[in-house]
């Protein structure tokens, strides 16, 4: 089986950092990978150089690299589509300032997905405003199940883990089940107190609410602010938006979602189409929740107890997403009514893809297996 992976905005900084992770087996294990690199005509020259470099890496699983300016070529029967291309945020801009420019781009991406992608394709949206771009794409791609889309809040998830680990003087990997709720924006709610825990030396899971009991002020003020504004801080320091960390988070999100799944009891943050009104959040927006992944699918973990403080934070980020949704629907001329839940039966998958059994961290078998 060859996994066909399309990447828009492939010549950008995130693309450059992401491509080796896609081609080396970091994401897809030992499965063969074909890369379709989508770019605007002005960037094709530099992409040609990147293709040379990919060949020069001699990645054993990389079967082909196709450069194209046509989304219909890039997305044709693609198994995985990663949408990084769009106008990037510059100093002084908020992510939602990009709605005008990027909604149009994501409307055309969604239409192209609708036209040529496999109905089993999995789509990860990275470009900002990521949640609303994802909503636009899935609205336009009405034949693809809404469950096949997500937007990247794994970057914020990793940022939250990094901040907590530094504060507690432990390894980032020992911090589990932090949650990013809502929008990948300054209104997101990075929450470590509702379900987060730390795995200490003897393997015991200690709730972060306990470990931070004397530091609650920090966990409910500066910590939240720093994670919410980390993208801006990186832009201010680098003069460019995050690329290495965004690429790593993209790769890790895909790997958990489509390949390894999450370990029992563990959650990651993913912005997904809210068709169920999870946690009382308005239906019809793409909202980041704690998710478990298995068999190549995400499942929102329900049942976390939310304090009044948390509930209030969820309301703030929900209100921003509702506003963004209305703006985007106006731009593309669609109705803000919730997109119907869409599922597809395995027997009707046009691509010949079906889900394999649950993969574990160690076996790295991909949850997309070909019947062809």
Of 235 and 314, CB closest to ligand LMR? 235
Of 85 and 231, CB closest to ligand LMR? 231
Distance between CA atoms of residues 3 and 178, nearest Å: 31
Compute the least distance from the CB of residue 245 to ligand LMR, in Å.
Answer: 7
| Catalytic-role residue among 89, 96, 159, 184 | 184
The verdict on whether 329 is a catalytic residue reads no
Compute the least distance from the CB of residue 95 to ligand LMR, in Å.
Answer: 5
Instruction: Pick one of 155, 285, 291, 368: the residue that binds ligand LMR (CB under 6 A).
Output: 155
Q: In the block, which residue shows the tokens 């909604």?
A: 103
Of 107 and 242, CB closest to ligand LMR? 242
Of 31 and 241, CB closest to ligand LMR? 241
Q: Which stretch binds ligand LMR (CB under 6 A): 205-213, 238-246, 299-307, 315-323?
A: 238-246
Distance between CA atoms of residues 122 and 296, nearest Å: 9
Of 89 and 122, CB closest to ligand LMR? 89
Helix (H, G, I), strand (E, B) or coil at 78: coil
Distance between CA atoms of residues 147 and 134, nearest Å: 11
Residues with Cβ within 8 Å of residue 264, at least 6 apart in sequence: none
Q: Does 128 bind ligand LMR (CB under 6 A)?
A: yes
Instruction: Pick one of 241, 260, 288, 317: the residue that binds ligand LMR (CB under 6 A).
Output: 241
Helix (H) or strand (E) holding 140: helix 130-140
Compute the least distance from the CB of residue 322 to ligand LMR, in Å.
Answer: 20
Instruction: Pick one of 208, 234, 259, 359: the residue that binds ligand LMR (CB under 6 A).
Output: 234
Max Cα–Cα distance, the chain, nearest Å = 58
Binding mask 70-109 for ligand LMR (x = CB under 6 A): -------------------x-----x--------------
Compute the least distance from the CB of residue 337 to ligand LMR, in Å.
Answer: 28
Distance of CA 224 to the CA centre of its chain: 20
Helix (H) or strand (E) holding 161: helix 154-168
Q: Which residues of 310-331 are buried (b: 16+ CB within 10 A; e: fewer)?
A: beebbeebbebbeebbebbbeb
Distance between CA atoms of residues 273 and 146, nearest Å: 6
Distance between CA atoms of residues 245 and 257, nearest Å: 18
The number of beta carbons lying within 10 Å of the beta carbon of residue 135 is: 32
Compute the least distance from the CB of residue 267 to ligand LMR, in Å.
Answer: 20
Distance of CA 116 to the CA centre of its chain: 22
Instruction: Pick one of 12, 15, 85, 231: the residue that binds ligand LMR (CB under 6 A).
Output: 231
Q: Which residues bind ligand LMR (CB under 6 A)?
A: 89, 95, 128, 155, 231, 234, 241-242, 246
Where in the sequence numbering do the catalytic residues fall?
184
């Amino acid at each position: 089986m060859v996994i066909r992976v399309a990447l828009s905005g492939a010549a950008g900084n995130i693309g450059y950092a992401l491509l080796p992770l896609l081609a080396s087996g970091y994401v897809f294990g030992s499965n063969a990978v074909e890369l379709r690199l989508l770019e605007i005509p002005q960037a094709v020259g530099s992409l040609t150089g990147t293709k040379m470099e990919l060949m020069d890496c001699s990645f054993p699983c990389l079967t082909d690299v196709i450069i194209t300016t046509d989304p219909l070529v890039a997305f044709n029967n693609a198994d995985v589509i990663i949408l990084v291309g769009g106008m990037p945020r510059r100093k002084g801009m908020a992510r939602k300032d990009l709605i005008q420019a990027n909604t149009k781009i994501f409307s055309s991406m969604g239409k192209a997905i609708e036209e040529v992608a496999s109905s089993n394709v999995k789509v990860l949206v990275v470009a900002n405003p990521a949640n609303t771009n994802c909503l636009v794409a899935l609205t336009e791609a009405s034949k693809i199940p809404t469950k096949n889309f997500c937007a990247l809040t794994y970057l914020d998830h990793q940022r939250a883990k990094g901040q907590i680990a530094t504060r507690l003087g432990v390894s980032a990997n020992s911090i589990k089940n932090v949650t990013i709720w809502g929008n990948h924006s300054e209104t997101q709610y990075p929450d470590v107190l509702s379900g987060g825990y730390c795995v200490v030396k003897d393997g015991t899971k200690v709730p972060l609410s306990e470990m931070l009991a004397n530091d609650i002020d920090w966990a409910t003020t500066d910590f939240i602010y720093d994670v919410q504004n980390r993208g801006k801080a990186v832009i201010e320091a680098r003069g460019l938006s995050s690329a290495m960390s965004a690429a790593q988070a993209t790769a890790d999100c895909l790997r958990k979602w489509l390949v390894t799944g999450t370990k029992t009891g563990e959650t990651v943050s993913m912005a997904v189409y809210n068709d169920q009104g999870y946690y009382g959040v308005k239906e019809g927006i793409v909202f980041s929740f704690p998710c478990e992944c298995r068999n190549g699918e995400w499942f929102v973990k329900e049942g976390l107890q939310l304090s009044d403080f948390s509930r209030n934070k969820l309301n703030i980020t929900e209100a921003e997403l509702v506003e963004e949704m209305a703006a985007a629907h106006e731009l593309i001329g669609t109705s803000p009514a919730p997109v119907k839940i869409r599922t597809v039966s395995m027997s009707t998958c046009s691509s010949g893809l079906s889900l394999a059994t649950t993969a574990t961290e160690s076996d790295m078998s991909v949850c997309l297996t070909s019947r062809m």
